[in-house]
Amino acid sequence: DTAVSQTPKYLVTQMGNDKSIKCEQNLGHDTMYWYKQDSKKFLKIMFSYNNKELIINETVPNRFSPKSPDKAHLNLHINSLELGDSAVYFCASSQRGDNGYTFGSGTRLTVV
Amino acid sequence: QKEVEQDPGPLSVPEGAIVSLNCTYSNSAFQYFMWYRQYSRKGPELLMYTYSSGNKEDGRFTAQVDKSSKYISLFIRDSQPSDSATYLCAMSAGGTYKYIFGTGTRLKVLA
pLDDT at B14 over 80: yes
Contacts of A106 in chain B (CB under 8 A): 41-43
> Residue range A80-95: average pLDDT?
95
pLDDT at A13 over 80: yes
What is the per-residue pLDDT for A57? 83
Q: In 3-state terms, what secondary structure has residue B11? A: strand
pLDDT at A15 over 70: yes
Encoded amino acid at A104, one letter? G
Residue pair B99/B91 in contact by the 8 Å Cβ criterion: yes
- Rounded Cα distance, B57 and A27, in Å: 25
For the stretch A46-66, what's the b/e string if a residue is b when 16 or more beta carbons lie within 10 angstroms of its beta carbon?
A: bbbbbeeeeebeeebeeebeb
Please write the tens of the pLDDT for every residue from B31-64: 999 999 999 999 999 999 998 888 999 999 999 9
Q: Which of A31, A90, A100 sits opposite B43 (nearest CB)?
A: A90
Residue pair B25/B19 in contact by the 8 Å Cβ criterion: no
What is the per-residue pLDDT for A27? 94
Pairs across A and B, CB distance < 8 A: 61
Contact A106 B49 (CB under 8 A): no
Please write the tens of the pLDDT for every residue from A44-83: 999 999 888 888 888 789 999 999 999 999 999 999 999 9
> Residue range B12-37: average pLDDT?
95
- Rounded Cα distance, B74 and B9, in Å: 15
pLDDT at A98 over 80: no
Q: Which of B8, B43, B95 sits opposite A105 (nearest CB)?
A: B43
What is the per-residue pLDDT for A97? 65
> Residue range B76-81: average pLDDT?
97
What is the per-residue pLDDT for A9? 96
Contact A106 B41 (CB under 8 A): yes
The model's confidence at residue B98, banded by pLDDT at 50, 70 and 90, is: confident
From A102's Cα to the closest Cα of chain B, the distance in A is: 7
> Residue range A28-48: average pLDDT?
91
Contact A98 B92 (CB under 8 A): yes
Residue pair A10/A111 in contact by the 8 Å Cβ criterion: no
From B15's Cα to the closest Cα of chain A, the distance in A is: 25
> Residue range A84-97: average pLDDT?
91
Contact A31 B97 (CB under 8 A): yes
